[in-house]
Structure 1
Amino acid sequence: AIILATLGVCYMSIIYQKLPLYSLLVAGTFTGYSIAKKKIKIDPILALTIETLVYFPVAILYLLTIKGGKGIEAANFDKILLMGAGVVTVIPLFLFSLGAKLSKLSSIGFFQYLTPTLVLLLGVFVFGENFSSVHVITFSLIWSGLIIYTASLFKVNR
């Protein structure tokens, strides 16, 4: 399963002569985040509070630097969007924290492929994004690996 997924990434990297660094970085950091959520025994609300406090100074710094230092003076609609972004971010993170405590890491890993796959389908079928034969081969290799891995999990659980 790992070899098939790796072949998919390597195939696309060789064809386009470019390593998908951002994709690998996002996957790696979210994997680390998932492991931390699973292994660290802290109440999800407390953990989310700590995360928020860590990123709070960064957010304030960002607000002070956008719009030539006038980020705090943003229009009312912009302020509503910024506050809404917090809520829209916190709720899924809280639910993820709860789910990570109750689920196996292998299940979390599998479900993390669903979002990019749904975004891909949305891009191709709704927004008309290009989906070439290179993409078909890469997608097929990665999902073949996922199917094999998932089937092995079911077999082990039985």
Structure 2
Amino acid sequence: MATKKLEALITKTVKKVIKKELGKLKKDNLGIALNQTSNTLAEIEKVKNDNLALASNQTHNTLDRFVAKVDNWQEKDSSEEIIDEIYTNGYLSLPSKEDTELERKLRELKFKQELRKDWILFLLKDVIVYSATIIFIFAVAGFYLFTLIMHQRY
């Protein structure tokens, strides 16, 4: 389906270019012919036909070269190769070396993030909770001992 669209686009573009070039040639040649007062209508027609034949030969040669390029382009094995050739600019597809470097950096960042998260959990669970629990136990034990000592005195 993509090849049909591409062929239609190429055909449409080629037709527009040919029409534009023929129009330019007609205008140029007719302008030159009309400016010459000694030319008759037959001479003008002859010049016009000669130039149109010359223009059609030139466009035919150009069209043949274009078709040859398209045929060579269609001989590619897969559309992936064609897409790779189209997007050879560095901003769309990175070379594999840069890809691996970016993937390595991403893995390092993820590892560092996991490490930070693990350290925060360790500090919260093991250090802070354990210390707070020990302090609470000593505070309760101290209060209990204090109340025992106070009851024994009185």
Q: Which TM-score applies when normalising by structure 2? A: 0.31
Greater relative CO (CA pairs within 8 A, separation 6+): 1
* Structure possessing the higher radius of gyration over alpha carbons: 2
